[in-house]
Structure 1
Amino acid sequence: MRARDFSVLLGVILIVVMLIIPLPTWLLDILILLNISLALLIILVSMNTKEPLEFSIFPTLLLLVTLFRLGLNVSTTRSILGKAEAGNVIDTFGNFVIGGNVVVGFVVFLILIVIQFVVIVKGAERVSEVGARFTLDAMPGKQMSIDADLNAGLISDEEAKRRREKIEQEADFYGAMDGASKFVKGDAIAGIVIVLINMIFGLAIGMMQHGMSFGDATSTYTLLTVGDGLVTQIPALLVSTATGIVVTRAASEGNLGHDVTKQLFAFPAMLYVAAGVIFLLGIFTPIHFLPTTIIAGALFLLGFTLKRAEEKLSEETEEEVAAEEEEPDMTTPENVVNLLTVDPIEFEFGYGLIPLADANQGGDLLDRVVMIRRQLALEMGMVVPVIRIRDNIQLQPNEYVIKIRGNEVARGELLLDHYMAMSPGVEDESITGIETTEPAFGLPALWIGEDMKDQAELSGYTVVDPPSVVSTHLTEVIKAHAHELLGREETKQLVDHLKESYPTLVEDVTPNPLSLGDIQKVLSNLLKENVSIRNLPVIFETLAEYGHLTKDMTLITEYVRQSLSRQITKQYAPEGETLYVATLSAQVEKTISEAVQQTEHGNYLSLPPEESQKIVEAIHQEAERLSQMGRSPIILCSPAVRMYVRQLTERVLPQVPILSYNELEPNVEVQSVGVVT
């Protein structure tokens, strides 16, 4: 165990010893001086912190210091009442500091108690309560602000994580301070009670057990009690002041001394006014002229010095601004390199759609982007990169563009003062508007005005507002291109996150037998077919089992899909619904399986172009027939040919799921409503 840890444990044990075992007076002197030194150190540290979290241990330290001081009170009380002595330090405070005058010492002690209990403790307790309440109330707003900055690209993921942790630590700190301030209040009350006990019982013990006269007993025990009270209450006052300083400190760029001098003397002209008032007091009042003149002169000199320093700083700032406004050298390598950065996802819009993203105009696009990232994290199991949102004057006013890795993948148009209405299948001729196409799924739709919204809803139309239209479109685009957004860096983040809970499992998979790139290929293959990768433990169990057997990542992906059979079944047949599918005929499966070529680098399909075209057209016809029946088009085939069928259809029919028998749970009811021949 390190010396620091041992010293803290030894201190706690010492507190227990003081409560039980009588201590010699020389040891009491050392502990009393240690108590005063510790209180001084605490208040000096609290004054030099820039923000409360730099002294996050303060609530616990406050409890330990309070217990230590109360343990000292018990030991000194035992010594005062038992031996009529309490060591050199207490005797010095009782005689030298208060001049041996009992009344003066008692009054000084009462003043310290009043200052500590009524002013500092009460104020610190109230500030702690209010600080804890407002910190907790402000947490949701701060979290949303962090998410908005993250989505706008103003901060990185690491910075967002650090800020969230800081918010949680602040809430914990102020909550702890709210409770710890009660210790300070209790300590002040205990100090008063202990002094009264020492005085009353000391007077009785001195007269009855030690045979002292009333005057001697009063003088002896009152001086010792008041000295003991001053010795303990002065450190208590320092710690109480430190409590008030910590809970009233706001985050700043300097310590307390820096902030006080900077802000108190921020207006040098006001020092001239203060100097003039003090000088006039010395002239027109009986106050002595010499001290008022000295103070007024000091204030005037300070104001003059600060004014000169402020003017000099202003001149330097103007020179720096002028230098920055000069045309920069665009030939430097730094400027060129910065132009090479490509954002993973970009959302650009024309100037007519600026109200969508402007919170001052009621726009909630940033909040919706936050929800999209959370939704996709739950659905797809991946962390969507930061979505860069910007306006583009080259677009039409109501037009927007979605880019993936710098390339446009989707485009749409919005009318902010309209609603998009999609027909339930039966057209209502009374519903009129501007014909358009729903951008996410390509369905025919109408832009209708506010006056026709209620009527369209009564007619069964699906009516959505423009922000919902663009949110849905953005969500579907990200889903369709999720496999492109999952690179090696993103895969490493997922692996590192899994390693926190399953370290052994991750070690069995990577870096041997599979590299990070191999894992990325498997996860990308799953996302490409809209299979969530959130269940990483199951995926890695399969990778650990088959990673030693083959280096064909496409084949390993098939094994992973079969391990995720329960998830895939629930995805296409939720709540035990019947799964309507079109199956491949035996002839088609035989044709495909015979065309598979095996090489040392893996298997691939070698079909003549005319054969491939026939199979794809047959699958397309069956998918259309299922859609016309009101069923989601799903193609079911044997596990041996599933991945090759997918290779045939992924370019022409990327949205049509290709499933194998091994990817479905035995309890799901499958009904074939078509055969691909």
Structure 2
Amino acid sequence: MKIREFSVLFGVIMIVVMLIIPLPTLILDLLIILNISLALLIILVAMNTKEPLEFSIFPTLLLLVTLFRLGLNVSTTRSILSNADAGNVIETFGNFVISGSALVGFVVFLILIIIQFVVIVKGAERVSEVGARFTLDAMPGKQMSIDADLNAGMISDLEAKQRREKIEREADFYGSMDGASKFVKGDAIAGIVIVIINMIFGIVIGMTEHSMDVGTAANTFTLLTVGDGLVSQIPALLISTATGIIVTRAVSEGNLGSDVTRQLLAFPTMLYIAAGSIFALGVFTPINFFLTFSIASLLFVLAWFANKTLKSEALEAETAAAAGQEEEVDMKSPENVVHLLTVDPIEFEFGYGLIPLADTNQGGDLLDRIVMIRRQLALEMGMIVPVIRIRDNIQLQPNEYVIKMKGNEVAGGEMLLDHYLAMSPGVEDPAVQGIETVEPAFGLAALWITEDMKDTAEGSGYTVVDPPSVVSTHLTEVVKAHAHELLGREETKQLVDHLKETYPTLVEEVTPSPLQLGEIQKVLSNLLKEKISIRNLPTIFEILAEYGQMTKDMDLITEYVRQGLSRQITKQFAQEGSAMQVITISGGIEKQIADNIQQTEHGNYLAMDPGVSQQILESISRETERAAGNGQPAILLCSPAVRMHLRQLVERYLPQVPVLSYNELEPSQEVQSIGIVQL
């Protein structure tokens, strides 16, 4: 690896040396042959690449070989003008290739210059410029396509990252080619100037320093100059052609050779027509019949082979089509609407005014935030959140967004992207002015403020957040609140299979006997419904194995699991090192609940008089409001026997109020009552 790196560095240093130090003719011959070989290698590699990025070093390589060729021009010019000798290679080109005629050589050189400068260089320059422009214009659409595939679950995060990197590399490549094509143009102009200078000053130097007459000086220096021009312009022509090939190559399945032969021979009938036309040209005109007959025969043979190949490919395609014909007919039948029944677990839809949230080209990082939300919920709740599908919806207001669960809208809000959301610390500051609104995640009163008001709000103790943070927080809380709906049997099976990899004996003892997968899902769903993490699956399964054989009442088993997770629940609701402040339930209410529990073969349920239930709810509501007014959390604490039924009573009206039992707290946890619920 070091040898390769140092060889390139040594080559660049030698180019600089060539510009300064005169070189012997033998070394010049070697470098000229090396220049021709390098140009031939570059054009062959360009022809065999399938897409431009396979030769991504080409723009830099183009600069280096152009500099190398110009260095050779300086060295050969020095040798020609000072010694009237430029080595064996240039002399051979001057005498053998152009037959010793300076005029013929000069005309050939001019033709090469015109072909390179007017045709190839101009075309490659224009294609590079247009290719760079269209590549940059297409980047936002390609990025959105990648993001859509990622959100749909069609590709992984790694594949999306690789595709984005490829798009960025394509843009950089075409931009570099746009600049590198200018070097090719400049090199062609420099070649013309160097030849003219060599011829004019060569004649002058030959007459003054080498004592030649005008004719001898003109013939000698013209031959050497034209020979030098040819040995430099032939590699330049090859590299210019390679430049044109690279910038005109579209992404295809093969290299240039395979594409050209496959596509030119794709229409055998046209080859037959061409063969007949050439044959008729030889019959009805004085053109040599042998030549036209040979070319026509070659075209006829090519057409025959191409037709045979196409028939073979068509037969293979028909066989493949016949194999999938039945499936295709099913898909096209009017009765097949299965694909219309798919419902995404989670959808985030937004109006066109919020597109910058998801567009990475406009600085949007919503996709990255959603990835972090899924990871955060996996750590906090212990469940795998399904892929969140993101799409724009023109039916929504420009600044509106909605969150859907299984096709049903569960939450929504409005964003002002050029504002910040400021939430009051409790004491309003008249200096902070903005548009009144409600924070969507927790329902707090807030203001949309401008950026110049941000420092004032923060100085007054306001909590100031940007719109992407507001959206991601709202989405996180919505997913937490509906986590139990997202956990189905399929998701439960994934969790069980993951646990089985490390605890196979424990899983086998729980399922499929005594508990089915659906019963396990019921327990986990009950826990998530009250925002209890199910990440500690080994402990949960230990309790399921112990109590699963005693009862089929999954609500009762859930209570046993909660008690087994007492350390986790205590840590979740209590601040470390301080007493847990709770609202206790009076003995009278607990007796009322216990006396109205109905037992059936399908489980127990609470059948309480509606008037009594209303009184209990009003009392709980008063105590929770009093606690919230004092800045204290509202946590209900009751006996284990009635916890489940009390939760069922309050969850419809006060879903955010947690209900705990004494057995769900660690014995060492200090408890302080800040209120009592009583009739």
User: Which residue in the other structure is 1:387 paired with?
Assistant: 388
| Paired letter, 2:283 | I
1:375 corresponds, among 360, 366, 381, to 366
Deviations 1:327-361 (A, max 9, x none): 89xxxxxxxxxxxxxx996259xxxxxxx99xxxx
**Percent identity at matched positions?**
63
Counterpart CA distance in 2 for 1:43 and 1:113 is 18
Judged with a 3 Å threshold, the aligned counterparts in structure 2 of structure 1 residues 481 and 29 are, in CA distance, closer, same or farther, namely farther
Report how far residue 202 of structure 1 moved.
1.0
Q: Which residue of 2 aligns with 1:69?
A: 69
In structure 1, the residue matched to 2:259 is 259
2:174 counterpart letter in structure 1: Y
Deviation at 1:528, TM superposition (A): 6.2
TM-score by length of 1: 0.58
Distance 1:192 1:10 in 2: 29
Paired residues of 1:40 and 1:235 also in contact (CA < 8 A): yes
Distance verdict in 2 for CA 1:40–1:344, change over 3 Å: farther
Q: How does 1:195-274 map to 2 (within 5 A)?
A: 195-274=195-274
The aligned counterpart of 1:34 is: 34
Q: Which residue of 1 aligns with 2:283?
A: 283
In 2 relative to 1, CA 553–2 (structure 1 residues): closer, same or farther, beyond 3 Å? farther
| Structure 1 residue 587 displacement after superposition | 8.8
CA distance in 2, matches of 1:585, 1:366: 42
Contact 1:588 1:615 in 2 (8 A): no
Alignment of 1:319-330 (within 5 A): 319-325=319-325
After superposition, give the CA deviation of every residue in 1:200-230 in whole Å (9 maximum; x if it has no partner). Answer: 1111111111111111111111111100000
Q: Distance in 1 between matches of 2:354 and 2:265?
A: 41
> Do the aligned partners of residues 481 and 91 (structure 1) sit closer, same or farther apart at CA in structure 2, a change above 3 Å counting?
farther
CA contact 1:148–1:367 (8 Å) conserved in 2: no
SS in 1 for 2:154: coil
Alpha carbons 2:268, 2:306 under 8 Å: kept: yes
Q: Distance in 1 between matches of 2:286 and 2:294?
A: 16
1:165 aligns with 2:165: yes
Distance of aligned partners of 1:618 and 1:238 in 2 relative to their CA distance in 1, 3 Å threshold: farther
Partner of 1:511: none
* Corresponding residue for residue 478 of structure 1: 479
In the alignment, the residues of structure 2 paired with residue 150 and residue 297 of structure 1 have an alpha-carbon distance, to the nearest angstrom, of 55
CA distance in 2, matches of 1:317, 1:253: 18
CA distance in 2, matches of 1:46, 1:346: 48
Query: Any residues of structure 2 matched to 1:491-506 within 5 Å, and which?
Result: none
Letter in 2 for 1:223: L
CA distance change for structure 1 residues 6 and 385 in 2, over 3 Å: closer, same or farther? farther
Per the alignment, residue 593 of structure 1 pairs with none
CA deviation vs aligned residue, 1:259-312 (integer Å, no higher than 9, x gap):
111111111111111112112212222222221122112112211211111112
Aligned to 2:9, what secondary structure does the other structure show? helix
Q: Deviations over 1:46-80 (max 9, x none)?
A: 00000000000000000000000001011111111
Q: Is contact 1:584-1:676 (8 Å) kept?
A: no
Offset of residue 477 of structure 1: 3.6
1:585–1:152 distance in 2 versus 1, CA, 3 Å: closer
Question: What is the CA–CA distance in structure 2 between the aligned matches of 1:136 and 1:401, rounded to whole Å?
Answer: 33
- Deviation at residue 38 of structure 1 after TM alignment: 0.4
**Residue in structure 1 matched with residue 95 of structure 2 by the alignment:** 95
Quick check: 1:16 aligned with 2:7? no
Residues 346 and 387 of structure 2 are in contact (CA less than 8 Å); yes or no, is this contact kept in structure 1? no
CA distance in 2, matches of 1:76, 1:183: 21
Deviation at 1:136?
0.5
Aligned partners of 1:6 and 1:313: how far apart in 2? 50
Cα offset for 1:441?
A: 9.2
Distance 1:556 1:380, change over 3 A: farther
Tell me how far apart the structure 1 counterparts of residues 191 and 110 of structure 2 sit (CA, whole Å): 10
TM-score after normalising by structure 2: 0.58
The one-letter amino acid of 1:375's match is: L
**Structure 2 equivalent of residue 134 of structure 1:** 134
Residues 232 and 636 of structure 1: is their aligned pair in 2 closer, same or farther, counting only changes over 3 Å? same
Larger CA deviation: 284-293 vs 230-239: 284-293
Cross-structure match for 2:345: 346
- 1:374–1:300 distance in 2 versus 1, CA, 3 Å: same
Moved more, 268-277 or 9-18: 268-277
CA shift, 1:15, in A, is 0.4
Q: Which moved more, 1:2-11 or 1:473-482?
A: 473-482
Residue 622 of structure 1 and its aligned partner are, at CA, apart by: 4.6
Residues 520-535 of structure 1 mapped to structure 2, 5 A cutoff: none
Q: Distance in 2 between matches of 1:635 and 1:529?
A: 21
Q: CA deviation at 1:314?
A: 1.1
Residue equivalent to 1:105: 105
Question: What does 1:505-520 correspond to in 2, within 5 Å?
Answer: none
| Partner of residue 569, structure 1 | none
SS of residue matched to 1:253 = coil
**Residue pair 2:124, 2:181 contacting (<8 A) in 1 also:** yes
Give the equivalent residue in structure 2 for 1:493.
none
Distance 1:293 1:41, change over 3 A: same
Residue pair 1:376, 1:382 contacting (<8 A) in 2 also: no
Contact kept? 1:29, 1:89, Cα under 8 Å: yes
Q: 2:463 matched to which residue of 1?
A: none
Correspondences of 1:246-645 after superposition (within 5 Å): 246-325=246-325, 346=345, 374-375=365-366, 377-378=368-369, 381-382=372-373, 386-387=387-388, 411-412=408-409, 477-478=478-479, 480=481, 620-623=621-624, 635-636=632-633
Q: Report the CA distance shift for 1:389/1:66 in structure 2 as closer, same or farther (over 3 A).
A: closer
The verdict on how the C-alpha distance between 1:528 and 1:273 changes in structure 2, with shifts beyond 3 A counting, is farther
How far apart in 2 are the matches of 1:72 and 1:442?
A: 74
Please list every run of 5 or more consecutive structure 2 residues that lacks an aligned counterpart in the other structure.
329-341, 375-384, 392-401, 412-439, 444-471, 496-526, 534-566, 586-614, 636-643, 660-672
**1-structure distance, mates of 2:207, 2:274:** 59
Judging changes above 3 Å, is the alpha-carbon distance between structure 1 residues 616 and 305 closer, same or farther for their aligned structure 2 residues? same
Bigger Cα Rg: 2
Q: Which amino acid aligns with 2:315?
A: E
Are 1:95 and 1:101, in contact at CA under 8 Å, matched by a contact in 2? Answer: yes
Structure 2 match to 1:150? 150
How far off is 1:657 after superposition?
10
Partner of 1:123: 123
Q: Which runs of 5+ in 1 are unaligned?
A: 329-342, 349-355, 391-399, 415-439, 444-470, 491-523, 531-551, 563-582, 590-613, 639-646, 659-673
> d(CA) in 2 for partners of 1:73 and 1:117?
18
Q: CA RMSD in A?
A: 5.0
Residue 615 of structure 1: how far off its partner (Å): 12
Deviations 1:536-585 (A, max 9, x none): xxxxxxxxxxxxxxxx77788899x99xxxxxxxxxxxxxxxxxxxx987
